[in-house]
Structure formats: structure tokens, C-alpha cells
Amino acid sequence: MPKNLQQKQDSVSSLAQSLKAGKGAVFANFQGLKVSESQELRKSSRSEGVEMLAAKKTLVKLACQQAGLQDVDPTEFNGAIATFISANDEVSAARVVNRFAKDHELVKIFGGILEGKFITSDEVKNLANLPNRTELLAKLVGTLNAPVSGFVNVLAGNLRALVSVLNNIKEAKV
């Protein structure tokens, strides 16, 4: 059943608000998926904190314009379009769609939005391969901790050498 004008305006404004609030978004084709596969995609999206919205391309274009994203034109994409919006971080939407697209050839990534700019499908795939925020923070802590632990090992090495020398003297006297 087709939507009336008020329903279309509501969906456009809702999508525009989600695009403004989100840190990252990905546009992908989901046409041809079985219902079970589509439900699996929605479930994995929800578990990562990603909102999946399916709307006509013209409505998505209007929502992008309302959100202030002037260089995004979803009407250029072929096929039905699903918009994946991540409110938590910039990477999770790209990661969810890219992981699902590896297992399902019908899913094709068209592009995405990062920091208010349109990014290509290759850039979305590169973004999906980045580690998440907690992994990056753990690497940062390890990098910051490396000089301190190296200094502790140097100091402990002198103590080990002293103990070894004293042990050799003790064995020599016995």
C-alpha cells in the first residue's frame, strides 16, 4: 500500500534526524535477499547498535538534503537502498554491512557518509577494516606503556646481573 504525503514527510524527517544524530552511515543494496537473510541483517545491525532503514531513493535524497548533506545523491544508485546509521561510532555501520556483504553476494555497498561527507564504497570497505574504539584505545595504552616497561626491564636487568655475579662468587668459594 503506497504511503500518503504525510507518511512520506514523517519518514523523511525521521531519517533526516537519524542522519544528523548518527556518526556514520552506509548505503547498500539489499534487493533480492530472502526474508530470513534480511532478518539476519537487521538482527546483526541491532546487536552492533546500527539502525537499518529502508526507504525509496528520492525520500533518502530529501532526508540527506534536510540533514545538510548536499553532496549525497542516492538516486544515482542502482536497485533498492537500505540506509545503515550508527549512532555509537563511525565504523560499526560499515563493519556490519561489509561483514554481511562478504557472505551474501546480493548485498552491494554503494557508499556512505563520514563526518558529513560522502565516501565511496571502497572507502567504506577500508573503514570497515579499522579496529573498533576499544581496540584502538588498548593499542594506545600499550604504546604509552612501552617506554615505562622498557625502563623497568633495564633496571631489573642490572639487578639480575648483580645477583648472578654474587651467585658466581658464592659458588667459586664453595
Entry pTM = 0.73
- Give SS3 for 86: strand
In degrees and rounded to multiples of 5, residue 63 shows phi and psi of -65, -40
| Cα 151 to Cα 11, 117, 119, distances in angstroms | 59, 44, 44
Roughly how many angstroms between the first and final C-alpha of the chain, as a whole number?
A: 98
In the chain, how many domains are there? Answer: 2
pLDDT digits (tens, 9 = 90+) for 56-106: 888 888 888 888 887 777 777 877 788 898 888 888 888 889 988 888 888
What Å distances lie between residue 59 and 1, 63, 148, CA to CA? 16, 6, 55
Residues 42 and 98 in one domain: yes
Are both 116 and 81 inside the same structural domain?
yes
Residue 21 belongs to domain spanning = 5-130
CATH number at residue 85: 3.30.70.1730
Do 30 and 114 belong together in one domain? yes
- Half-sphere exposure for 113 (CA within 13 Å, toward CB): 30
Grid coordinates of 137: 584505545
Dump pLDDT digits (tens) for 114-137. 888 888 888 988 888 888 778 888
Residues 91 and 161 reside in one and the same domain? no
Q: Are residues 91 and 146 in the same domain?
A: no
